A and B are shown apart, each in its own frame.
Chain A
Amino acid sequence: MTAMSLSNVNKSFGDVKVLRDINIDVEEGEFVVFVGPSGCGKSTLLRIIAGLEDATSGDVHIAGTQVNDTPPSKRGIAMVFQSYALYPHLNVRKNMSLALKQERQSKDVIEARIAKASAMLNLDDYLDRYPSELSGGQRQRVAIGRAIVREPKLFLFDEPLSNLDAALRANTRLEIANLHDALKTSMIYVTHDQTEAMTLADRIVVLRDGRVEQIGTPMELYNNPVNRFVAGFLGSPAMNFIPAGFLNDGDTRTLGLRPEALQISDGGALHGTVQHVEQLGGDTNVIARIKDVQFSARLFGQHAIEQGQTIQFGFNPDQLFYFDNAGARLYDETSARE
């Protein structure tokens, strides 16, 4: 059964179209990540699923039921917000129990669910504290706990990690992945961080300017992007785009080459001047320039490379992507030569 499905959803604020013709299905137990640049409509889409915003047209189904006119609290969802959104005048325990009290659950049920959630998230020591007495990471865990206790059919996360520092973000990311394994509930997760998307998702939905660009598993999107935008958005460092004419006189297409697909090789097809070298220990990132186009290569291990030297890279032709000038993927790799 599909846990959530959107069909032909459009949304406008006044004359501004924010979402156009969105169709997405989320399967039972699936972890789906919406990813896209800032302002592309991710949060708006999530708020439409939650019922905090009405779609201008289109249908939202949750667990098989149409919920277009159902208020947020009756949709069987729980939401975690970017700003935590904890009730500042209630302590952690009361923050978590508020929704259950609204549902008129019995005291025993409330106690049991809080105990379970707080054990899961290591919140036992903080139950009597107020949000202002917690660190950012603890607040985020409370926010997640508040969602868990409701035992929803669908979790919605809106950039839950973006206010945390890098180390804590990696930790909490893992915690969310574990949470999904333990609960097996469907989750929709919004982020503009491609690493979060790649590591967490069963499937990724890439959005741009209110449109769905591509939907697929992380590896499908990485190996087989439908256009230049998706190709450039996923993967870090980002894919290189080089005019094909550099390698092949008269070719007007654009070449896409992942930094990790490049190796140093004498007589390689791609040669440039080294601009900058990032030694990461395990990896070495080389940023080089061919004519006035900058590109990067990610080399495994440590390499002694000097700034300013010329360098030659080779690559496997199978790992080349071709795009036309509008950014669409060209699958016929030999044609388009003029």
Chain B
Amino acid sequence: MINARGNRLNAAAMHGALIVYTLIALFPVFVILINSFKTRKSIFREPLALPDAESFSLIGYQTVFKQGDFFLYFQNSMIVTVASLFFILLFGAMAAFALAEYRFKGNTIMGLYLALGIMIPIRIGTVAILEMMVATGLVNTLWALILVYTAQGLPLAVFILSEFMRQVSDDLKNAARVDGLSEYAIFFQLVLPLVRPAMATVAVFNMIPIWNDLWFPLILAPAEETKTLTLGSQVFIGQFVTDWNAVLSALSMAILPVLVLYVIFSRQLIRGLTSGAVK
């Protein structure tokens, strides 16, 4: 009896805390969304009011679509984010597998070297990176961004994934070897599915900073045809006047794709956790 009631109280408290947290976390998003559908005046007069017949306006969205090539920016951001994530996961997992699975000279040193990148912010090397990109002619291409983001994401990916790969049982890999799977097949068909939750974690951790980054697009690819969404939205924020309608509309639309990617990855995460994977 006492136990059951205790559980129910616990559950209520837990849900309460989670609901409060959700509200706090969603509040800014909510404010951005409602204000993106209002006229400039009503944004400032009553920022928290829902749009009504009088204050409703699509002016922000119209500006965004007229000004600049919004769809191109959107596409650029998407390509850069998805390609970077792909390379981070692929190369990160491969390096992690080698470090976790094979005994070779310098294994530990190599692991430490790869993990060092977690502690050193890549932006310190911006000037050198820019020089390199100029030398290789990659400035103002999406490749410049993809390469930099891949490099930025790899250390943490290798670190997390190698930890998880060490936990995949040796017997399982040996059984696969006896069954005639090549090392590549063991990696792709056996180990990768088993560390899928870890892959999803790495993807989510890397996705948001890449999507939102302003620094590298501004420095490495500011040309009109390679602008990312974040960089493209900056045209509405001026030194003296800021077109809030447009900024809020651009932001609202920028949230969507991240949301979709997040849902995809978190599905994987949950499925991985509940499949009773390793044992």
Contacts and interface: CB of A to CB of B under 8 A. Distances in A.
B174 interface: yes
Interface string A59-102: 00000000000011110011101111111110000000011001
Given A132-B275, A132-B276, A87 B177 contact: no
A121 to B, nearest CB: 17
B169 A85 contact: yes
Contacts, number: 66
Most buried by A among B178, B185, B277: B178
A47 B174 CA distance: 9
Contact of B172 (A47, A72, A77, A87): A87
Given A88-B277, A88-B278, A89-B275, A99 B174 contact: no
Contact of A88 (B171, B178, B275): B275
Interface residues of A, number: 26
A52 interface: yes
A103 B179 CA distance: 9
A162 B115 CA distance: 39
A201 interface: no
A4 to B, nearest CB: 15
B171 A83 contact: yes
Contact of B169 (A47, A83, A98): A83
Contact of B194 (A50, A72, A85, A89): A89
B171 A85 contact: yes
Contact of A99 (B172, B179, B194, B276): B179
A79 B175 contact: yes
B177 A73 contact: yes
Looking at A84, A87, A99, A103, which has the most chain B CB atoms within 10 Å of its CB?
A87
Contact of B177 (A71, A78, A146): A71
Q: Which of A72, A85, A99 has the most CB of B within 10 A?
A: A85
B269 to A, nearest CB: 16
A71 B190 CA distance: 19
B174 A52 contact: yes
Nearest to A133: B276
Interface string A174-211: 00000000000000000000000000000000000000
Nearest to B175: A85
Contact of A50 (B176, B178, B193, B279): B178
Interface centre among B179, B275, B276 (most CB of A within 10 A): B179
B214 interface: no
A79 B278 contact: no
A73 B169 contact: no
Contact of A81 (B174, B194, B276, B277): B174
A103 B175 contact: no
B35 to A, nearest CB: 46
B191 to A, nearest CB: 11
B180 interface: yes
Contacts of A87: 172, 175-176, 190
A84 B171 CA distance: 8
A99 B275 contact: no
Interface in B207-244: none
Contacts of B278: 88
Contact of A72 (B169, B178, B190, B276): B178
B194 A88 contact: yes
A311 B172 CA distance: 54
Nearest to B172: A85
B147 interface: no
Nearest to B274: A132
Interface string B32-63: 00000000000000000000000000000000
Nearest to A103: B180
B181 interface: yes
A81 B278 CA distance: 15
A310 B185 CA distance: 68
Given A72-B177, A85-B172, A88-B276, 10 more contacts: A72-B180, A73-B180, A77-B178, A81-B171, A85-B169, A88-B275, A89-B277, A98-B181, A99-B178, A102-B185
29 contacts: A50-B174, A71-B177, A72-B174, A72-B177, A73-B180, A74-B180, A78-B178, A79-B174, A79-B175, A81-B171, A81-B174, A81-B175, A84-B171, A85-B169, A85-B171, A86-B175, A87-B176, A88-B194, A88-B275, A88-B277, A89-B193, A89-B275, A89-B277, A98-B181, A102-B179, A102-B181, A132-B275, A146-B175, A146-B179
Report, nearest first, the 5 A-B pairs whose CB atoms are least far apart. A73-B180, A102-B180, A99-B179, A132-B276, A85-B171
